[in-house]
Amino acid sequence: MLDLASAAVRGTVVAANDEFFAGKENLIEPAAPSHAARTFGPHGQVYDGWETRRRRTPGVDWAVVRLGVPGVVRRVVVDTAHFTGNFPERCAVEATAADGYPDVDELTGWTTLVPVQPLRGNEKHEFEVPDEHRWTHLRLRIFPDGGVARLRAFGEPLPDPRELAGCPVDLVGAAIGGHVTGCSDSFFAPADNLLLPDSAAVMGDGFETRRRRQDGNDWVELALGVPGVPYLAEVDARHFLGNAPGAVRLTALSGDGTPGRELLPEIGLQPGTCHRFRVAAGDPVTGLRLDLLPDGGLARFRLYGLPDAAALDALALRYANALPDPHATAVLGAAAAARPYETLPGPLRAALLGATAPR
């Protein structure tokens, strides 16, 4: 599952009531928390996390995260790594949803995802979330104060169909639910990195197999976030200079993983280069296999195309049913009261999908 809050998918910590000892942005750093003892700055011991001052008045401390990828949150992780004499006694996690880019004080309708739970020092706490709504923001509350190294929100992306209808998009991007379904080897770095939204800063931000010493070739199988007709593949081998694949090949896969039409015949790569290749025209694709010939690493892989109309229709139905109140009323108006929808009413389909809506 994708960490919807991570800075790696453009999550941000939009506000915290206090961050005297350590900055709120650390909460969503993708890297595991680190610690060096006896490192003192002007505010005290340096921590890789978010840490508030010792509270001398009643109340609790809080931080609000804007999810990089809105979606259904399945598991929250509150990690107090390296916080020992200064971890919070308890925490709770709430969520809300809103369109656009509201200020923190414009956010309302907070719903509890994780009720108040006890915390221990220097420990990863995992909380399952039995909730099916689509959220855009999380609020971590700590009782009464202290430090938390990381907040993770693992879940399923649920993109806004209004952002996809009629637009060419990266059909396999993690931000719209693209994900890895299989991989021959990921010894040095995971294949999931291929689908992250921003460019890789260094080789380690990409995907890399070990040196292959037997016949055959390495490969990755990918499920598209939204099925569609691809027209351009971007194969980004930047940072891979002595270890780029010699060539790649792209094949469409059916739902059960059977190979289908060839999207891109075997084609040579240049080390350290971002390549763009036209993809053979044809039917919509739901998954694909990327062959690395014979092995190596890539920074990113993108597949630009137009989402399929029927897939968008299904997405719009799922989206409309997953909107929490009061966001549902803001998006769907009075029709929100009629949920759950079996099929999307015509006017709502038009509002969510515009002129590209089927029928």
Residues forming the site for ligand 1AL (CB under 6 A): 21, 44-45, 47, 51, 54, 86
CB of 141 to ligand 1AL, least distance (A): 18
Q: Which residue is nearest to ligand 1AL (CB)?
A: 44
Nearer to ligand 1AL, 57 or 258 (CB): 57
State the nearest-atom distance from the C-beta of 44 to ligand 1AL, in Å. 3
Amino acid code (one letter) for 168: P
Q: Nearer to ligand 1AL by C-beta: 48 or 131?
A: 48
User: Given the complex with ligand 1AL, which of 33 and 296 has the nearer CB atom?
Assistant: 33
Distance CA 265, CA 279 (A): 9
| Contact between 269 and 275 (Cβ < 8 Å) | yes
In whole angstroms, the minimum distance from the beta carbon of 118 to ligand 1AL comes to 19
User: Is 157:71 a contact under the CB 8 Å cutoff?
Assistant: yes
Nearer Cβ to ligand 1AL, position 51 or 236?
Answer: 51
Least distance to ligand 1AL, CB of residue 24, Å: 14
Position 126: which residue type? Answer: E
Nearer to ligand 1AL, 51 or 208 (CB): 51
DSSP classification of residue 121: T
CA 135 to mean position of chain CA atoms: 13
CB atoms within 10 A of CB 227: 22
Torsion angle, alpha carbons of 95, 98, 103, 108, to 10 = -60
Tell me how far, at minimum, the Cβ of 30 lies from ligand 1AL, in Å: 22
Other CB atoms within 10 A of residue 356 CB: 16
What DSSP element (H or E) covers 278? strand 274-278
